[in-house]
Structure formats: C-alpha cells, structure tokens
Structure 1
Amino acid sequence: MAQLGGIIGLAPWLKTPPGRYLLAWEQAQLDRCVVDVFGFHALQLGLPELDALRANRMPHRWLAVDHQPARRVESGTALEVPPATEPAAPRAIVLQCDFDALPFDSNSLDLVVLPHSLELARDPHQALREVERVLMPEGRVVIIGFNPGSLWALRQRLGRMVRGMGLRAGQPLFMPSEGEFIGYWRLRDWLRLLSLEVEEGRFGCYRPPLSSQPWLERFGWMERTGDRWWPVLGAVYMLVAVKRVRGMRLVGLVRRQRLTAKAAPAVASRSSNKTLQTHDID
C-alpha cells in the first residue's frame, strides 16, 4: 500500500514557525497554478492541512486521505492560511483509499495535486503510476516536495547523524522524521518515463533552517535573493506536468465539444460508500 504513514509527523510540524512559513509558500504557489486549470474532476492526495484546490473551479473535487472515514467538508475549513481571493470553491468530498489503488476510472481526472504525497508514500513509484493512470490526456499533475539539496535537508541529515551517534537522543529533528526526500531532477526522470511532460518547475523557501519566528522574519530578504542567485537551494520545490499521449491532439470542434460536454462521473455512485473505503478496494 502507498499510504502516507508520515502524515502524523508532518501535520504537527506544519504548526511550527518554519512549518507555517513553508505552508504559506506552498498555498500561494498552488493557488497560482490551479486557478486556470479547467475541466470537471480534480483530486488532492493527502495533506488536508493544505487546501490545494481552493482556487480551482472544477465542479467535482476530492480530497483523498488514508487515515479517516469519508465525509463532506467545506473547502478551506481546516486551514490556518489566508482565504483565497477567488469565489467560494465547490464542496470537496473527503474519501479514504489506498494511494496505489485509487477508486477512479482510467483517464477520468483533469487535475491531481500531490503535496508531499510521494516522499511520504511507502511506494512512490506505484503512487505516481496510479496518478498517471487516472489522469486524462492533457491532464495536469502538481507535485510538491522537500528539496534534498537545501540547507534545511542538510540540517536534517546532520541531526540524523548526531542521533545515530547517540548524542542528543531526546532532541527532535528540525523537519518531520518520516519519509524520504525525492530529488527534483530524479522526480523529473520519473515523470518523463511515464510520459508526463514537465511544464513548470520552481523552488522556494530560501530562509535558513531556523525554528524561531523572529529569526525567520529577519532573513526575509533572502526570498528575492535566493530566487535569483541560488534557486536550487530552496527548501521546497514544485513541479507541474502534463500527461501527453502520442498521436492525440485536441483541435477545433473536437476540443470545444470536450469542454462543453456534460461531465461524466469519475467514480462509482456516491451512494455506495464501498467504493471509497480502503478495505473494499484491496
């Protein structure tokens, strides 16, 4: 199973000063990326603390988790981030499922967002293959992950090394201890092998790995400087990729018909909860 076993460790960390700093950057980038992605069906995999789809206007939206029962929530209610400037997003359906066996038909989703989902997945390759399966041709996937080449990751590795030597055993690591960081260029290779063409890549969060809010604010000048002079050293990165299908091209009347056609259901009937439960998917 590709369940997010590290989500329990990540959620509390997001309430710390560096976690809130990182969450604010990710929310701003996601709002910008998904606002103009059109279609009918959108899915966010994991991390309910981040409302990845709040700026998108697709009528059918899902938040997939693996540790709580399915329920309905209003988009944005679980966040501690500023509200979006876009009109209120439609309701999202929260469903429980395995990330390596999504309860969606092949070629049924227009947008999938993975905020730290791959690095916390037990089988990131299978989770990414499943995302490619459910995406429609020309559908988009947005992936966010920690950068293993950043100063934040360096402090994390040093903390693990000190802990392995038996020193400061009771001191927590700077970042969540679960999960494995996936490099930016490594992830681009994975996407290429799945015919997912990278459309945009961006790094962010250039301030030093500090736990104090006043000190983080003191280094605010590094955002603009880092984005210009050392972009690959950002603590986090974001990738946007498009699913390409050889020999397929939507033009003219065909494309207009696709955009105006009535949305077909991407999953089985909502009245049947069995399709949304983990133990019924296996």
Structure 2
Amino acid sequence: MDKAGSEKSIIALEGWLQTPAGVYMRAWEQSCLDNLTADIFGFNAVQIGMPEIDALAASRMPYKLLADRKTRTATEQQRSVDLTLDYTELPFASQSVDLIVLPHVLEFSTDPHQVLREVERVLIPEGQVVICGFNPASLWGARHVLRRVGGTSFLPRTEELISMPRMKDWLKLLNMSASQSHFGCYAPACRTEKWLQRYTFMDNAGSRWWPYFGGVYIIQAVKRVKGMRLIGPAWTRKAVAPPVGVPVTNKRREQQDG
C-alpha cells in the first residue's frame, strides 16, 4: 500500500469508527485501556493516532500528548490533536517517553516495522507501549479476508491484519517483551446496533470459551535493556574506623558511650 492508499485507509477507519460496530469496538477498547494505563507510572505519555478515543484518559502521568498525522479540530466525537507527525519519524528525543499508545496505527502504516523501531528508540528503559489491533483469527478477520474473493467488506480497508503472535515476534526482535494481552469484541460482523445487541452474550461466553477469537486485541509490552538493572540507594551508613593510635580502652569507652 502506498502513502496515498494509507491515507485513504485511515480516512476509511475514521468513518468506520462512527458505525455501530465502530462504537461497539471503541467502548471495549476504552474500558481496557483505562484499566491498563491507570497502573503505568511515569512522567510523559503519548497517544499516536485515533483521536476518537482517549487512550490516556485514566493515566496519572502529568504530561500527556495526543499526536496524529494531521491536525484535527475538536468535535463531539474526538479531541483536538496536540502535535502532527510522521508515524515513522517521531519528533521526540531518544529515551524520553514513559508510555506510548498505538491504537490501530500499525495495520494502516506503510512501514509498521519502522514505526515500532521509532517507538523503541524514544521509550525510556522499562518504558511501555500499548498496541491495539484487529485480530485476523476472528469472525471479523474472516469477513475481512472474504472481501478479496468477492465478499463484502466489513472492516476498513487495510493491506493486511497483524496477528497477535506475529506482533509479539516483532516486539521481541526489538527487545520489548509482552507483559499483558487482551481480546475483546466477540460479536459477529454485524452492521446494525440491533444485531450487535442480540449478540452481547457472546462477549461473556467468548472470553471464557474461545478467548483468542475476539475481533480486536490489545498488547502491553515493556522495553528491556540488556545489562541494566535498577539499583536502590544505599541507606546503611558505613562504619567509621577509629583514629589510629587510640588506646583499646578508649575504643571500648567510645562504644559504650555510643
């Protein structure tokens, strides 16, 4: 997919997010992201892409930034963008960000590997990244594949969907280890709110009986730095050697007085 095609895909995603299926997905992702980011501590957090959700709403970090490819004015459905950037060239210093959230960025990028390399570069050691993606091993993913053989499209146009195992492999190559993963949105590929409501029971059943087949997933990963470990302050005071030439009796007296 070229750059122009990627822009069209992102525009298609923006429209899809306003459909009943998009609203259904956003509700699940917002809840999951709130639970994850509330327990990640630090100073600087950045959400890249998809202003339609507030991925950092529950984060307690003092500095939070929303970045995207283009400037958008605030509307009822989304927030204003603080910074415009190229996903493959992040304008942040190396090892300067504690948390980055990528909601459906990689599957619409022309170079997802470069995006992840940039994320790894700007994250501090032990910094964290949270990634949202469509799951190809799901009813939504199957419907997406069928569009290539004459079926109707359900998800917005994208070059390919990235499976969770593949995403974990990419992260591992960059020394980022997955710490948590979640699947959600088990309802079939329904376009109307009426039919989505009818299949709400599948969210409870799916998480128990077929947990890896949700329509979307979220991965949380930590940047590891080899040979580095956190060392706490040395609180114990060093024993001070007595002055040279002090008689032994005086040493004992000093110890008793102390």
1:24 to 22, 27, 44: 27
CA drift of 1:180 comes to: 2.2
2:227 is the alignment partner of 1:247: yes
**Unmatched 5+ stretches in structure 2:** 235-258
Identity %: 50
Query: Within 1, Cα distance between the matches of 2:233 and 2:115?
Result: 35
2:70 is the alignment partner of 1:67: yes
2:120 is the alignment partner of 1:117: no
Match of 2:244 in 1: none
Match of 1:12 in 2: 15
TM-score, with structure 2 as normaliser: 0.84
CA drift of 1:217 comes to: 0.8
Match of 1:137 in 2: 125
With 173-182 and 187-196 compared, the bigger mean Cα shift is at 173-182
Query: Within 2, Cα distance between the matches of 1:198 and 1:175?
Result: 26
Query: Within 1, Cα distance between the matches of 2:124 and 2:3?
Result: 22
Cα RMSD of the aligned pairs, angstroms, is 2.2
Query: Within 2, Cα distance between the matches of 1:64 and 1:14?
Result: 18
1:183-202 superposed matches below 5 A: 183-202=163-182
Higher relative contact order, chain-length normalized (CA < 8 Å, sep 6+) = 1
Q: SS at the partner of 1:55?
A: coil
Query: Within 2, Cα distance between the matches of 1:2 and 1:196?
Result: 27
CA drift of 1:248 comes to: 1.3
Match of 2:243 in 1: none
Superposed CA deviations along residues 154-182 of structure 1, whole A, max 9, x for unmatched, are: 1122123106xxxxxxxx62110134210
Query: Within 1, Cα distance between the matches of 2:80 and 2:11?
Result: 22
Number of corresponding residues: 231
Match of 1:102 in 2: 90
TM-score, with structure 1 as normaliser: 0.77
Query: Within 2, Cα distance between the matches of 1:186 and 1:144?
Result: 13
**Unmatched 5+ stretches in structure 1:** 81-90, 164-171, 255-282
Superposed CA deviations along residues 126-150 of structure 1, whole A, max 9, x for unmatched, are: 0000000000001010000000111
Match of 1:231 in 2: 211
CA drift of 1:206 comes to: 0.5
Match of 2:252 in 1: none
Contact 1:10 1:176 in 2 (8 A): yes
